[in-house]
Structure 1
Amino acid sequence: MSEKDPSVSDEEWAAFVEAAKRDGVGVGTGGASRSAPAREPEGWRTGPAWQETNGRGGGGRKRKVKGAVGFAAAAAVLLVAFRPQLVTDHLPEGLGGPGETTPLAAESARPTAAPSEEAFAEGPTLSEPFRGSPALRWTDGAAGIETPQATAVGWMSKNEVAAALKTTKDFLVAANLDPAVVNGGRPTAALALLDPHQPDVRSGMEKGLTRATEKNDPTHLFSRFSPAEAKLVGSVVKTRGRMTLENGKGAYANYVLIHTDYTFVYPVVKVRPGADEVARTVARRQITFALPDPDVYRATKGKLSVSRMNSSVGNDECDRPKDGFFHPMFTEDHTASPGTDPSGPATDPYDRSKDLTDLPKECGRLTRS
């Protein structure tokens, strides 16, 4: 690849997978997956009477995946460690080999396929927490949340749209990337950006931060790990996704809608002296923010209202009681409790080619993390 070539797309890695399979290199992981129907917030009496779709008692369920690298993956890792040429001999020109870090071009549309299955010789470490993952070539943190070009839409001027897009990005950063929040802190800055005139979201999340329930689970919107169990490795969270906007129609007339679809990859380690096994939790969120015309509806200008939220979390225990935190699994957890991995549908947490509403709802298996 010449210096002037753009970054290689996800699809161009497909040849890598096929070559690895032909030479007997496979990557698989044990784990579990649970999917959640989209949740449309209840009781927004200042706007249209929205109906919940595919919900359960008003609460949104998240598809969760629990698990660490299983024995099939470990065998593949050993094979590549002894015969790395099985991977590097078949890589397309310019892709390098294990450890390739050329950033991907920004995601401009939904991918047509999952990223290739990377069969790197080694997994994550404290110094290289994204090694062996598609996220190695994703963008670091807030830089991965790119806003579209602002133009006048519906009731909003170009400058108002630009401000709304910035506020949307600020929310996603505060909710999913702020190190203090990720490490278990209260998402004060993110909460402050939600419109108090939509009480069932903001107040519901505030209640959930005190006492989480299936309905009011802070992890529907915020990425947080229990400070007693796991902590972020370093300060980098990998990010990939896109943001679009449209003028609302029908029941959404006099609204501007901002659709967001982002995946966040968190490398974590257990909170205990000497812990050095790195696990990755992969959270994908599809959130639509609605901006009602304040001349038509009672709303706070400059604040965000959530019209729809859906999330999928890979490597988060499915059967833990709700407490507002992610609970990643490590290899030692599987060793201590053999035979407990769920047997549901296998899901790739890095696959952004499908809408979250199309994924299985039950607890299933994680193909990689």
Structure 2
Amino acid sequence: MSDKPAEEPSSTPEIPDDVWEQFARDTERDIRASAPKEPSARARQVTERLKNSEQPEGWRTGPAWQQMNGRARRRRRVWAVLGVPLATAVAVVAMKPSLLPGDPFNKGDNASEAGVTPLAPETAAPTAAPSAVDPETPTLDRPFAGSPALNWADGKAGIVLPKATAIGTFSKDRVQLALQQAQKLLVDANLAPTTLRGDRPTAALSVLDPKQPGMVDRLTTSLSTPAKSNDPLLFFSRFDPQEVRLVGDVVKTRGRITFKKSEHSGVEIHADYTFVYPVVRTDGSTEVTRTIVRRVLDLELLDPARYQVTSGRLSVVNYDSDFGNTACQIYDGYFHPDFPSAEPTGASPTGPTTDPYDRSKDLGQEQGDETCGTVSRT
């Protein structure tokens, strides 16, 4: 018998080396899997999108300008005067101050005709075009003779504002101010003598929100460098003062303004107006013709507490235009009216014939963004 005491069995069972190695590898793998990771770029994008979806549209980052700009259609439809019968005669009138070369736009006698009863303001879309009018040749004394616009309102008097009411967070007074701003824009863009002779429409631009991406910059570019892609006539009425001038100091106006709560919880203002401009050439001729312009404009007043906008300014949602009696495919930033006794200018019209005084129809969206047709009357 050995004198060496017997060893007690170990309380920890012996583990083979290969088992220990496998255990170490598994443990290391589990630790790596459970450790926090830097999310991938894709994961960060998804997380950010989900986070943004829980916030109100435009919160902190401004309104959904891309969506609004996507709705901001810019259409140009031109209706030349080809196809309109020539007047039987051109009246010869005595010389008067409004004929003088030094009397550009808006300095002559008032062209509004006495004894004409103006129509009541338009409160809804008419159901038909204006009735036919006895054909008369317009003259310097009667520039709206033979036109349905004869009994339309004169200038700003035709832009009648609806009664304001509170909408959402906007008080009645604030809505009223927004309507007045829309009126200011329409007047300066389409009636102001300085704008009509090609000057910068400063008052109209001052109404628009400079924070709306691209809008004011686009309009400014169109005024300084007119082109097909940047046409100021889509928004402003302008005549080349070297070519024509307005007869007298009256532009006939017909249309309406309405407003409602917008989908962005703001105030959306809708304006639909037709302007009739009697003009004469600056070469001493007394022959009068008329250019008719219809504009549809949607503006929006947004809450600066919710959106990154300029308080008190208006955003442009949509603007459409129809031009009656101006040369086709000329993009120099001016209307170029055709006169019955002169050869037409610009490209030949290929589109349909339309009545520029017909306000019962929407602006022919089915005709596309660029159409040149003929007018049935001026």
TM-score of the pair, normalised by structure 2? 0.72
Task: Quote the Cα distance in structure 2 between the aligned partners of 1:297 and 1:185.
Answer: 33
2:322 matched residue in structure 1: 312
1:50 alignment partner, SS class: helix
Match for residue 375 of structure 2 among 344, 359, 366 = 366
Q: Is 1:346 equivalent to 2:362 in the alignment?
A: no
Match for residue 235 of structure 1 among 234, 244, 249 = 249
Q: Is 1:323 equivalent to 2:323 in the alignment?
A: no
1:50 matched residue in structure 2: 67
1:267 alignment partner, SS class: strand
2:62 alignment partner AA: T
Cα deviation code 1:55-86 (max 9, x no counterpart): 9xxx7231111126733x646x99xxxxxxxx
1:124 matched residue in structure 2: 138
> Where does structure 1 lack aligned partners over 5 or more consecutive residues?
1-44, 79-97
Q: Is 1:297 equivalent to 2:297 in the alignment?
A: no
Q: CA deviation at 1:359?
A: 5.6
2:336 alignment partner AA: H
Q: State whether residues 167 and 261 of structure 2, in contact with CA within 8 Å, keep that contact through their aligned partners in structure 1.
A: yes
Distance 1:247 1:112, change over 3 A: same
Which protein has the larger Cα radius of gyration, Structure 1 or Structure 2? 2
Q: State whether residues 231 and 270 of structure 1, in contact with CA within 8 Å, keep that contact through their aligned partners in structure 2.
A: yes
1:222 matched residue in structure 2: 236
Cα deviation code 1:12-64 (max 9, x no counterpart): xxxxxxxxxxxxxxxxxxxxxxxxxxxxxxxxx83123166699xxx723111
Task: Quote the Cα distance in structure 2 between the aligned partners of 1:54 and 1:153.
Answer: 22
Task: Quote the Cα distance in structure 2 between the aligned partners of 1:68 and 1:230.
Answer: 19
Match for residue 123 of structure 2 among 78, 101, 108 = 108
1:364 alignment partner, SS class: strand
2:271 matched residue in structure 1: 260
Task: Quote the Cα distance in structure 2 between the aligned partners of 1:315 and 1:53.
Answer: 30
The number of equivalent residue pairs is: 293
Q: State whether residues 87 and 340 of structure 2, in contact with CA within 8 Å, keep that contact through their aligned partners in structure 1.
A: no
Distance 1:275 1:219, change over 3 A: same
1:90-169 map, 5 Å: 101-120=116-135, 122-169=136-183
Distance 1:177 1:344, change over 3 A: same
Q: CA deviation at 1:310?
A: 0.4
Q: CA deviation at 1:177?
A: 0.5
1:48-87 map, 5 Å: 48=64, 49-50=66-67, 60-67=74-81, 70-71=84-85, 74=87
Q: State whether residues 218 and 324 of structure 1, in contact with CA within 8 Å, keep that contact through their aligned partners in structure 2.
A: yes
Q: State whether residues 69 and 368 of structure 1, in contact with CA within 8 Å, keep that contact through their aligned partners in structure 2.
A: no
Q: State whether residues 155 and 256 of structure 1, in contact with CA within 8 Å, keep that contact through their aligned partners in structure 2.
A: no
2:362 matched residue in structure 1: 355
Task: Quote the Cα distance in structure 1 between the aligned partners of 2:183 and 2:317.
Answer: 16
Task: Quote the Cα distance in structure 1 between the aligned partners of 2:205 and 2:324.
Answer: 24
Q: CA deviation at 1:305?
A: 1.1
Task: Quote the Cα distance in structure 2 between the aligned partners of 1:159 and 1:202.
Answer: 26
RMSD of aligned Cα (Å)? 2.5
Q: CA deviation at 1:357?
A: 4.0
Distance 1:52 1:160, change over 3 A: closer
TM-score of the pair, normalised by structure 1? 0.74
Q: State whether residues 268 and 300 of structure 2, in contact with CA within 8 Å, keep that contact through their aligned partners in structure 1.
A: yes
Task: Quote the Cα distance in structure 1 between the aligned partners of 2:374 and 2:201.
Answer: 30
Q: CA deviation at 1:234?
A: 0.9
1:47 alignment partner AA: P
Task: Quote the Cα distance in structure 1 between the aligned partners of 2:300 and 2:229.
Answer: 21
Aligned structure 1 segments of 4 or more residues deviating by more than 4 angstroms: 51-55
Task: Quote the Cα distance in structure 2 between the aligned partners of 1:101 and 1:115.
Answer: 16
Q: CA deviation at 1:115?
A: 0.2
Distance 1:212 1:135, change over 3 A: same
Task: Quote the Cα distance in structure 2 between the aligned partners of 1:359 and 1:263.
Answer: 20
Q: Is 1:245 equivalent to 2:259 in the alignment?
A: yes
Task: Quote the Cα distance in structure 2 between the aligned partners of 1:144 and 1:51.
Answer: 29
1:329 alignment partner AA: D
Distance 1:340 1:168, change over 3 A: closer
Task: Quote the Cα distance in structure 2 between the aligned partners of 1:327 and 1:155.
Answer: 45
> Where does structure 2 lack aligned partners over 5 or more consecutive residues?
1-60, 91-112
1:290 alignment partner AA: E
